[in-house]
Structure 1
Amino acid sequence: MKKYITGEAGSVEFYPYYLGVVFDGHTIAFVRYWKGSFRTIGPLSFNEESLEYLLDAIRGLTRKPLEAETLLKDFGPKSEIAHRALKAFYNSLEHPKSERIELLFEDWRRIFSQVCSYTPEKLKKLAKFYGFENADPEKLTFALHTYYTLLMKLIVSEIVSVLSVGLASSILTRLHESYLNSSESLRFVLEEELEEGGLFRQLGIRNFLEADYFAWYLEEWNEEIAEAVHEMVRKLMDYEPSTVEQTPERVEDLFKRLYQNLVPREIRHSLGEYFTPDWLAELTLEEAGYDGNPDMRVLDPACGSGTFLVLAIKRAREWALEHWGVSADAQTELLEKITKNIVGIDLNPLAVLASKANYLIALGKLIRYRTGDVTIPVYLADSITVSTKTSARGGKRIALKTVAGEFEVPLEIIENGLVDKVFEAIEDGLRRNYSPGKFVAYLYTYKLKGRKFSQDTEDALKELYKKLYQLEQEGKDRIWTRVLRNAFAPLTLGKFDLVVGNPPWINWESLPESYRELTKPLWQYYGLEKGSGKGMGRVKRDMAMLFVARTFDRYLKPGGRLAFLVPFTLFKTQAGAGFRKFLTYGRRREPKIPVKLLRVHDLVTLYPFEGATTRTGLLVIEKTEKTEFPVPLIVWNWPDSKGADVEATLEDVRKKAKIHQLVFIPIEEGKPESPWMMTTEKAYEGIKKALGSSEYRAYEGVLTALNGVYWVRILQDVGGGKVLIENLWDVGKKKVKKVRRIVEKDLLYPLVRGRDHNRWHVEDSGIYILVLHDPETGKPLLEEKLQVDYPLTYEYLVDFKKELEIRSIHKLWGKGNPFYSVYDIGEYTFRPYKVVWKYVAGKISGKAEFSTAVMAYKDDEYLGQKMMIPNEKIMLVPLENENEAHYLSAVLNSTITQLIVASYTIETQISTHVLNNVKVPTFDPSTPTHIELAELSKKAHEVAREKYKLLDELKVLKASLKGKRGKEREAIKAKIEELNEKIAETEEKLRKIEAEIDRKVAELYGITKEELKEIERLYEVLME
């Protein structure tokens, strides 16, 4: 059959458009080509079901397959349909006829600001992308979400028609025919069958469309909207909905792929939106221990478009097929268990609808086996926050704030699982125009069958009903009862065996102030706000930490397991200190929460989120006992810088990645809040001998907070102790005006930046820094002295006085200081020798590439012998003695120290804390090993100087190749080859010196040869 298809198709791009059928009168099989290989379905018994498959397949060959790539051509951002619909929706939002639309839009803004770190500024890029240059970016985003959700609704409704064969005809056909009658007829069918859920109710699906912010366009209906919607319907009629059953792999997470392309990646990432690839979700489910048993309860509390839910359903269907077979009873039981036990929650209305759509598609023909109405267990709600209030009578109420007001629901209703019944009664009452008293009577009689509540609960229900009734009278209700029903769902879901997912990675500080205030008590409750360790970094708190603690506590059964994707930095940075403590001890106060961290995966170099360089980790915790160190750490190293393909399978990723078994151990014994080291138990036996605090102290380099004023180039020596300078006006985020001035050269110093630092060597930047501080004290020179002794320099600075005075750090710390003061400076800045290292060093890997160099005076062509000054991206240890400086540099450049730093520090935070964690013995000139290390460092600096000189020559030679031909080009290439050989020789010399340094430093700490060998091996693993 493969041979027939390849022969008939001719070219591989046409293979997917052919269907092979093998039939012997009793048994039938199908062959299709998809994603690089032929796939066989069957052999199957020839019966009604396999005949239906054949007929659907034949029909499908004449229509477009329902897959993301094809849909994007017709409905994507470059399509005429998308632009037409967006324009129609946006125009209506600009001048809405209904006050309810304004209310919906404002509440969408409220929720959208909580689910992502959005600002109108970020959304402007979206307006530009779609060609709406002067549009309101928030309204345009709301219009885009409306377009996307309508597209989803139309696709899903057509698919459901196929899945529930015999119960409904094509809704697309009915919509098309209604438009031919009149645009108002189209609006009526859209409202009744689609937006009000008529079709889905007919098919026994209760809640596909509820709490929907995006049906507003029906109230703003006009010819422009009607034409745009009809165009969407007409084009969708070209597609084959049975693709869902014919080739389900084509529609896996269909709506995630659509949204990924409707909103450009750069904009989604700036908003904190990252979609989980299937292989990563599979790994997470695997680590959680989910084998597909439908009796296990699984929750994704931040489900997004439903990736984890869809894959869990797939596993459940495979498990049931193996253990229960395919009988109708088995299918019915499976449907009931899936919809009871595989549950999702998300705060984003767009994500919830996409997740429900994907959930329905994943259920497939199981829908046919329902015995009653099916509820899709995906809820629009906040998984972590609950605002509790106490009434005058002492009754407990749960409150939800929206732009329509604050709504309170009695806790008694929630605890007794009566939320659905109460809100059904409220909807009935509003529709029938009941008074509050009549509503309560109706609730007791028809919904609760005579059951009564406390007086406080009854009063609260009347109060709630009154608010919703008032909104109904004002024409503002419609959605709020459904929003409330969803919002309180998390309180009624019970406990789960497994909690899985990819929680929001959003800085807490970037969320609205109201939401920060609402969540602040939770940070304190779980002990997550506590940080420790001076200089351990400035990373802000990430909401992922709170998500882990809160969902673990709130939803997990005793003995249950949580597997979440989290920022890997949480295991190393100061911001994660409280989180690490929670992972170790849980909550130790009453009520206690036991936590056992089972293992962590380091997935950083896999860069799993399509084009994003986020540092990804996977943690697995259980609600049992407490964490014991060492904790298993599985490190996945990717062989290239591109990272794993989002379309790869988990098997593909496993085959290509280098996987190493390591452990996590806190760098400070008995202090789990301290950063955790990535190590092996064998290597730890060696490096723990070097752990501890040094008497040496490190400082940050000079911070100007306005480099464009202080950083200059010297253009000319004009004599008389003066030079002509030009400021580097465009460096840094804040630009200043460009000027050329003559200034006194006494206050100029050679500048060293992070990029000028190399292992064993500091490059000449050719840039200078103005430092108007006394070298003896580090304090700023008095303004009077400056005016008298350095009038030209003072005049230059006065020209920038306004900009200098408004520097944030100057306003914060500069009270009483002259306007030209710089910060992070002291007498230590002017010491003759400094051991320096970069604050940022290494690729995005979660492991710092630490190295040092000794910096002293520079013989400068303009300034003579002058002290070199590092900027704030350079850390420094000030010293008076050259031998001591080289001794310290040798110890810090050893593989032993490099491993320690790489193991607990990320590459963007190699701060002064290094010497709080590496115990360097104080230099003693009478100790031979100390002197030997100092001499080895001097040799290393000398060889490195030679190496970088050769590299500079090489750079010049390579540049000279341009435009050269024949013998001249060959001569240059020969010189390049000669230089490369010399560079290789210097590198070999350096390796030998460094190997000797490693041996001497091991001797210094009492590290054995075997331990040193393991340390060197482990360092290679971390640097892969």
Structure 2
Amino acid sequence: MQTTNQLNDQLLRLAQHIAGIDTAILESWKSRIDLCYGAMDGQRAVTFAGLEQVDAHSAVIAMESLFFLQTNLIALSAFHRTPDAFLREVSGLTNERLRHFLVELEDGTLFKNLGVSGFGSGCKFDWLFDASSSLCDLLKEIIVSVSLRWDEHNLLLEGDDPFQALQHQLFPANLCHVTGQFFTPEWLAELLLLDAGWNPSQTLVDPFCGSGVFIVKALRQAVDNQASIDEILPRILGVELNPITAAACRANIALFLAQHASEAKYCINILAADSVLPSALDADRANCLWAAPLAVDGITTTFESPYDDIALYSAHAYANAAGLNLSHWISPPTSHGNTSGQLAALTRREADQILTCNILPADVLVTNPPWVGWEYMSRPYREITAPAWKRYDLFNSKGLEASFLKEDLSNLAIVTAWDRYLRLGGSSAVVIRPSTMHSEVASSTVRRLTITDGGIPLKLKSIRTFPGISVFESAKTNTAAWILEKGEPTEFPVAVLEMQKRDRRRWSPESSSSLLEVRSKTTEIDRLAKPTTADSKSRWMIASREDMTAMKRLAGENELQPRMGVFTGGANAVFYMQELEQLNGLSLCENIVERAKRKVEQVQVKLETDSLRPVVRGRDLKMWEYSSEVGLLFPHDQSTGMYPLDEQELSSRYPQAHKYLRSMKKVLSNRKGFAGWEKNLLNKYFYTLQRVGPYTFAPYKVCWRYIASEFIVCVVDTSDDGRLAIPNDKVMFVPFESRDEAFFVAGVLSASLARRYVNSLIESRQISTKVIKTLQVPVFDKAQEAHCNISRLCREGHEILRESSSACVAGLREAVDELVEQLYE
């Protein structure tokens, strides 16, 4: 097998040849790469190990070219009696014959000769075909290394989607993650196809098909049910924006055909196009009025409308010539006088995009849409898709940009999919981010379960969740799935199937694992999902039927105003201090640089003790107890509110602290954690902190961790030396002036009933300030005996835990639980 060093050597040598590519072809590559991955000259910070000597565009071109060669060579060789011998024979061709072979590999001729049509990359690989002798030698070496992927008739890559492993080898993980390339594991594709209820007589579409795992699994399920492949294939369609990934999808299907098909002719209906673009262009579908010209890879084509007679007629002719069978997917174009005898000169990419704009909706839709946050989306693609976000009302009234900063491309992708590619009455199973159900603001318009606001309804039939299971082998991210039908409204609560590991041993399924294997190591727990208010756009809770009934009493409103703790703007290494000793009003300190994202020199410095506050981090919080192991240099004062002390006052009151902060001015002035109006604050006070206000100085704060899998509550007040403790940005808190009121609220929130309520709302280990928004918390009334008892018991528990272990307060917590239960009865 090929080592990482050998692979990097091949990539580097390929990249070094790219300098000779024709300028026009190179610009076409760059435009598409920036559209798919983000601008390589600034927006995308990616490390290409072993390719530091070449520019980022050349590195990606080399990776994509090598990936294309590997996938297509493996797929082609699979049709031969001895794949490895066939590839070695190819590597021995003369340079001229090798060039001819590569041309026919790229345009699909070699596959067509074997009875498999639909190939053709749509990318410009001419630079490989007009190769110099040295590049030909490299290509032959690559072909030999591909031959080593075979052991006689066995491919040394596992599963029905073996090219996932190749993709992970070639492309940097951080490049894949920020572009949403989380390839669906095979067992999950099997599961969702069963959930969607697809059968071979129905049309099936995956509008974001990636490397084609849903399609290959559908073929396998059909073959297992004795269905005919040549009848099934025309009913299956995949669309994929990245033409290189689309090529891998075709190659995966070809591998399957080589193993299971007879000698009949087959068509592979995979279009390398943007599934979202039609909705972005479609300003008025009924009248076919287009808001913007058609663009492919960010470059405007000659057609302003994909419905243009000549454009559609030409694209259909191109598809027929390529061997696609779109009889189930495209209405035959009518040949009017202005198209008779005319054909436009289209590229494969243009033809695929025009065809995608005219796809007929399918009976069943399955997909795993791209998971890309707005901040990671390429800037050209933001502009292209902006009309689609507006079309589906996927932003709030505060403005497009403000909403985008909280949204994810997957939201737009799945709503577009249900709108354009799923028929009324059709069923769908899609992979989603769990935050789609649990976020306070983001995804709220997806939760409305209509295509547009007040538009076609969607009936959510069931939900799947996978807590504690790493669904994606290459990424640690929580996952869920929705199964729905188009055309009927949703009735809540909705059934939730929670797949859990049978035991606590460390196990996660591999991408190539079968559904049978995964089910043998997991169990399914029944849950229910429902919105926290009458509006489905509100945050959803997921809980057992018993808990759902019990927690129904808690739903409501409260007057609490949770806050986020103090934020340094990315300069923890400047402000966080380890106090070594105190003497005469001064503290000898050392700034804490461990785990800091920004490198700062570690120094020992004497600071005024009064300029330091104990800081409480998320890790310092436990149920009813906290610690403060480090200090925070705090150049703020209660009288100035959100603003720090001005520099003259700071210098006068804390000269040592001022001197130290001045020494760190360059680091502090360049902080990136300030946005909008906050930048003005930073420009005026280079040493300012964020998230500071009157609430910061409240004597009592009911706190919980922001990053946590369980909701735990603690009251933070003063440290042992009498200084007010300050929560940091990983701590959420509610400020109080009254001790009794603070401990009452802490008692209510820490009760088992309230904690189960909050835990049913959280996802991805993030418990924000909004999480208690819909929890009915009574206003503290000192005339109410129950209120006072809850407050007293909670306070006693805190006091005991300062001296003893948690076992000592078990009885107090049980008493609080009982009182809170009575409170909500």
- TM-score, reference length from structure 2: 0.88
Instruction: Say yes or no: does 1:207 pair with 2:118.
Output: yes
- Does 2:230 align with 1:336? yes
Residue in 1 aligned with 2:325?
A: none
Whether the aligned pair in 2 keeps the contact of 1:538 and 1:574 (CA below 8 Å) is: no
- 1:520 and 2:386 aligned: yes
Cα 1:171/1:194, change in 2 over 3 Å: farther
In the alignment, the residues of structure 2 paired with residue 602 and residue 830 of structure 1 have an alpha-carbon distance, to the nearest angstrom, of 41
Q: In structure 1, what residue type is equivalent to 2:192?
A: T
* Matches for 1:166-205 after TM superposition, within 5 Å: 172=87, 175-176=90-91, 178-179=93-94, 183-191=95-103, 193-205=104-116
Q: Within 2, Cα distance between the matches of 1:495 and 1:198?
A: 30
Task: Determine if the alignment matches structure 1 residue 834 to structure 2 residue 701.
Answer: yes
Q: 1:400 to 1:814 in 2, by over 3 A?
A: closer
**Contact 1:924/1:930 (8 A) holds in 2:** yes
Distance 1:155 1:854 in 2: 62
Distance in 1 between residues matched to 2:604 and 2:125, nearest whole Å: 58
8 Å Cα contact 2:576/2:630 also seen in 1: no
Return the offset for 1:782. Answer: 4.2
Is contact 1:313–1:342 with CA below 8 Å preserved after alignment? Answer: no
Against the structure 1 CA distance between its residues 368 and 936, is the aligned structure 2 distance closer, same or farther, given a 3 Å change threshold?
Answer: same
> Any idea what SS the aligned residue of 1:661 has?
strand
Deviations 1:424-449 (A, max 9, x none): 8999xxxxxxxxxxxxxxxxxxxxx9
**Equivalent residue for 2:303?**
408
Cα distance in structure 2, aligned partners of 1:383 and 1:828: 48
Distance 1:987 1:645, change over 3 A: farther
Equivalent residue number for residue 574 of structure 2: 709
Q: How far does residue 287 in structure 1 lie from its aligned partner after superposition?
A: 0.8
1:384 and 2:315 equivalent? no
Q: Which moved more, 1:279-288 or 1:402-411?
A: 402-411
Map of 1:66 onto structure 2: none
Separation in 1, partners of 2:257, 2:529 = 40
For residues 201-220 of structure 1, give each alpha carbon's deviation from its aligned partner in whole angstroms, at most 9, with x where no partner exists: 3334332124144453012x
Instruction: Give the whole-Å Cα distance in 1 for the aligned partners of 2:222 and 2:333.
Output: 40
Residue pair 1:716, 1:725 contacting (<8 A) in 2 also? yes
Q: 1:400-421: per-residue Cα shift (whole Å, max 9, x none)?
A: 2446653316545569963445
Q: Deviations over 1:524-560 (max 9, x none)?
A: 222222389xxx9998311111111101110111110
Q: Give the CA deviation at 1:395.
A: 8.4
Alignment counterpart, residue 697 of structure 1, candidates 561, 568, 586 = 561
Conserved? CA contact 1:717–1:724, under 8 Å: yes
Task: Return closer, same or farther for 1:771/1:320 CA change in 2, 3 Å cut-off.
Answer: same
Contact 1:152 1:255 in 2 (8 A): yes
Q: 1:654 to 1:775 in 2, by over 3 A?
A: farther
2:329 corresponds in structure 1 to none
Indicate if the aligned counterparts of 1:712 and 1:767 stay in contact, CA closer than 8 A. yes
For 1:612, the equivalent position in structure 2 comes to 475
Letter in structure 2 aligned against 1:856: D
- For residues 273 and 601 of structure 1, the distance between their equivalents in structure 2, rounded to whole angstroms, comes to 21
Superposition map of 1:723-802 within 5 A: 723-728=587-592, 732-774=596-638, 780-802=644-666
For residues 464-513 of structure 1, what are the alpha-carbon distances to aligned partners after superposition, in whole Å with 9 as ceiling and x for unaligned? x4xx5xxxxxxxxxxx6212112222234322111112111111332122
CA distance in 2, matches of 1:294, 1:416: 32
- Alignment length (residue pairs): 803
1:957 aligned residue: none
Give ranges in structure 1 of 5+ residues lacking alignment.
Answer: 1-72, 322-333, 428-448, 469-479, 843-848, 948-985, 1007-1024
Query: Which protein is bigger by CA-based radius of gyration?
Result: 1
> How far is the alpha carbon of 1:234 from its aligned partner?
4.7
Superposed, which structure 2 residues align to 1:94-243 within 5 Å?
94-96=19-21, 98-113=22-37, 125-126=47-48, 128=49, 131-162=50-81, 172=87, 175-176=90-91, 178-179=93-94, 183-191=95-103, 193-219=104-130, 221-234=131-144, 243=153
Within-5 A mapping of 1:442-521: 452-453=335-336, 455=338, 465=344, 481-521=347-387
State the distance in 1 between where 2:500 and 2:43 align. 37
Question: 675-684 vs 814-823, which deviates more?
Answer: 814-823
Deviation at 1:625, TM superposition (A): 1.2
| Distance in 2 of aligned mates of 1:262 and 1:783 | 52
Distance 1:656 1:734, change over 3 A: same
- Within 5 Å, which residues of 2 pair with 1:240-259? 243=153, 252-259=160-167
What SS class does the counterpart of residue 715 from structure 1 fall into? strand
Tell me which amino acid in the other structure corresponds to 2:239. Answer: I
1:108 and 1:809 map into 2 onto residues whose CA distance is 32
CA distance in 1, matches of 2:159, 2:444: 42
Cα pair 1:343 1:377 within 8 Å, conserved: yes
Which string of whole-angstrom CA distances, capped at 9 and with x for unpartnered residues, describes residues 779-799 of structure 1?
Answer: 543444334343333333333
* Letter of the structure 2 residue corresponding to residue 256 of structure 1: Q
Pick from 923, 926, 939 the counterpart of residue 780 of structure 2: 923
The Cα shift of 1:199 comes to: 2.6
Taking structure 1 as reference, are residues 204 and 413 closer, same or farther at Cα in structure 2, changes over 3 Å only? farther
Q: Does 1:658 align with 2:658?
A: no
Deviation at 1:839? 1.6
Report the residue type matching 1:95 in the other structure.
Answer: G
Q: Percent identity?
A: 27
State the partner residue of 1:542: 408
User: Which residue does the alignment assign to 2:328?
Assistant: none
CA distance in 2, matches of 1:826, 1:913: 19
Distance in 1 (CA, whole Å) between partners of 2:495 and 2:282 is 43
Whether the aligned pair in 2 keeps the contact of 1:123 and 1:138 (CA below 8 Å) is no
Instruction: Measure how far apart 1:258 and its partner are.
Output: 2.7
User: Residues 776, 1005 of structure 1: CA spacing in aligned structure 2 closer, same or farther, 3 A cutoff?
Assistant: farther
2:72·2:248 contact (CA, 8 Å) conserved in 1? no
Q: Do 1:577 and 1:674's aligned partners in 2 also have CA atoms closer than 8 Å?
A: no
What displacement does 1:929 show? 1.2
Q: CA RMSD in A?
A: 3.6
Q: Higher helix proportion, which one? A: 1
For residue 472 of structure 1, what is the aligned residue in structure 2?
none
- Cα distance, 1:724–1:423 mapped onto 2, change above 3 Å: same
Query: Could you tell me whether the CA contact under 8 Å between 2:303 and 2:311 is conserved in 1?
Result: no
Q: How far apart are the structure 2 equivalents of 1:837 and 1:169?
A: 60
SS in 1 for 2:267: coil
Q: 294-303 or 736-745: which moved more?
A: 736-745
User: 1: CA distance between counterparts of 2:10 and 2:813?
Assistant: 66
Query: Which deviations, in whole Å up to 9, do the C-alpha atoms of 1:702-726 show, x marking residues without a partner?
Result: 233233333323334342x333333
Q: 1:375 to 1:756 in 2, by over 3 A?
A: same
Q: CA deviation at 1:365?
A: 6.5
The equivalent position to 1:354 in structure 2, one of 244, 248, 271, is: 248
Q: Matches of 1:289 and 1:190 in 2, distance apart?
A: 41
* C-alpha distance 1003-946 of structure 1, shift in aligned 2 (>3 A): same
Q: Deviations over 1:557-589 (max 9, x none)?
A: 111011111111111013434334432x44245
Correspondence for 1:92:
17
State whether residues 702 and 713 of structure 2, in contact with CA within 8 Å, keep that contact through their aligned partners in structure 1: yes
Instruction: Report whether the alignment pairs 1:569 with 2:477.
Output: no
Q: Distance in 1 between matches of 2:809 and 2:429?
A: 45
Aligned counterparts of 2:289 and 2:203: Cα–Cα separation in 1: 29
Q: For 1:500 and 1:529, how far apart are their aligned partners in 2?
A: 25
Which of 1 and 2 has higher RCO (CA within 8 Å, sep 6+)?
2
Change (3 A) 1:518 1:776: closer
**Deviation by residue 1:262-298 (Cα, 9 ceiling, x = unmatched):** 34656543543222221111111111112xx322111
Q: Which amino acid aligns with 2:813?
A: E
Query: Could you state the TM-score of these two structures normalised by the residue count of structure 1?
Result: 0.72
Alpha-carbon distance in structure 1 between the residues aligned to 2:23 and 2:311: 36
Q: Distance in 2 between matches of 1:881 and 1:389?
A: 57
Partner residue in 2 for 1:272: 180
